[in-house]
Amino acid sequence: MIRLYNTKTRQKEDFAPLDPANVRMYVCGPTVYDRAHLGNARPVLVFDVLYRLLRHHYGETNVTYVRNFTDVDDRINETAQKRKAAGAEGTMEELIHARSNETIRWYHEDMDALGALRPTHEPRATEYIPQMVAMIEGLIGKGHAYDAEGHVLFAVDSWKEGYGKLSGRSVEDMIAGARVEVAPYKKNPMDFVLWKPSDDDLPGWDSPWGRGRPGWHIECSAMAHELLGESFDIHGGGIDLQFPHHENEIAQSCCAHPEGEFARVWMHNEMLQVEGKKMSKSLGNFFTVHDLLEQGVPGEVIRFVMLSTHYRKPMDWTEKKREEAEATLRKWFSQLEASLVQSNVPNTFLELLKDDLNSPGGLAALHRLSDSGDVAGLRGGLEILGLLNGQVPDWAKTSGISLEGVNVIASINVSQPLEPLAKIARRWQAMRDEKKFEDSDGLKTALNELGIELRSTKDGPEIEASRAFDPAKLEALK
């Protein structure tokens, strides 16, 4: 039995899908105006692990996962306007489309590098405008929405019994606590936009209320309904979306389709911070997934660090965690390389994941499997967590090459000739044989600073170069 914490009921519940042959999940995806930052990767990885767990439990073809692209947004328009001002060719519409396409391509590259499976459907908001218009018309028809000055607004007073349930606040509390856009045409300050007019030079679609564009919340409601139906199992996203985005999605969907329940389980990941601080451009600690990959941080390492904190706890990205994750993965991958056993997912490990996605517990279980030499279990666990997709990744492969009595270990992406390393290890061994320990220890320390480890084993000296090692620096030691 899988148990999941439901934000709506504020408790862990046994998960019972409406249809075990088609388990359905919707996760709010990115607004495609720029590269995904590290925080954006957290929901992707959390729900990727859930997707993998559901596929393992219910069968690979029995899970439908939808994650949208929001490609109607002022920030996308702004980048296109800037390009146009800088002399780019094409209409605004073309430039906006080009920006969305480019961002979606980057998103796929980056999330693929983190080992995230592509969802079953990745709808783009601009391809579901007729469905949004139809949903808005339905809401007006049922008395849940009204049009005013080219805008269509959802009337929160028309659904007092439901609005605010997800966030646990009454409409009155919300008004008191929220920064709401005050507009003369709103009947209640909490009423939110379903449709708004569009400037002539910006993307817009014809509608019964004039040329305009949808509000952000209605996009998700319409796409979820089209692809998953009136009732489905899981809806996810970051905790920052709980209010107002998810509250508004619920209001729209439940009022447009009162015969359905919309999403039954609501799951929210907590936020990511960097070295204890909110990630922000002004603090200079803002970086994208692409930045980290460019620096040579492997996708598996990013994923490992993300999963080492439970998804409902705030997580801190630190350099120390990154280093530890890399060292652990190198150790585990070398165990896999040394063994040909097939994977076998141990129940002890699965039970942890089934308990509201306890990924830190899962990683601790993998440490135990590694220590006890259960390579089949280790392999199976790494696969479910998405840390191993087929082969051991190149960055973790080591070439342990014996060069005239010296074992030389170097990551294969360190493309230095190995003989100079073997030579230095021989020199170190000679010093030790002559009992010149001061000299040998001095050399060892100097090499350590260059990212090289020296060891003496029963088969002779062993030298290991880390990825940080720069072969050019070896010259200085001669």
Binding mask 277-296 for ligand AMP (x = CB under 6 A): --x-----------------
Q: Which does 220 bind (CB under 5 to 8 A by kind): ligand AMP, Zn ion, none?
A: Zn ion
Question: Shortest Cβ distance from residue 230 to Zn ion (Å)?
Answer: 17
Please give the size of the binding site for ligand AMP, defined by CB under 6 A: 15
Residues in region 2-31 near Zn ion by CB under 5 A: 28
Asked if 43 is part of the footprint of ligand AMP (rule: CB under 6 A), the reply reads: yes
Nearest-angstrom CA–CA distance, 130 and 222: 9
- Nearest to ligand AMP of 293, 446 (CB atom): 293
Would you state the structure tokens that stand for residue 409, as one six-digit string? 């270990």
Pick the piece of the chain touching Zn ion (CB under 5 A) from 77-85, 217-225, 439-447, 450-458: 217-225
Asked if 299 is part of the footprint of ligand AMP (rule: CB under 6 A), the reply reads: no
Asked if 240 is part of the footprint of ligand AMP (rule: CB under 6 A), the reply reads: yes
Nearest-angstrom CA–CA distance, 145 and 255: 10
Q: Which does 272 bind (CB under 5 to 8 A by kind): Zn ion, ligand AMP, none?
A: ligand AMP
Asked if 135 is part of the footprint of Zn ion (rule: CB under 5 A), the reply reads: no
User: Which amino acid, one-letter code, is at 16?
Assistant: A
Nearest-angstrom CA–CA distance, 284 and 344: 44
- Nearest to Zn ion of 36, 382 (CB atom): 36
Question: Shortest Cβ distance from residue 112 to ligand AMP (Å)?
Answer: 17
Nearest-angstrom CA–CA distance, 45 and 33: 20
Contacts 24+ apart (CB under 8 A), 228-232: 228/24, 228/26, 228/64, 228/66, 229/24, 229/260, 230/257, 230/259, 230/260, 230/261, 230/262, 231/18, 231/260, 231/261, 231/262, 231/264, 232/18, 232/24, 232/25, 232/26, 232/262, 232/263, 232/264
Nearest-angstrom CA–CA distance, 195 and 148: 10
Q: Residue 221: helix, strand or coil by DSSP? A: helix
Q: Which residues sit opposite 270 in a β-bridge?
A: none
- Nearest to ligand AMP of 43, 214 (CB atom): 43
Q: Which does 134 bind (CB under 5 to 8 A by kind): Zn ion, ligand AMP, none?
A: none
Catalog residues that contact Zn ion under the rule CB under 5 A. Answer: 28, 220
Catalog residues that contact ligand AMP under the rule CB under 6 A. Answer: 28, 30-31, 39-40, 42-43, 237-238, 240-241, 269, 271-272, 279
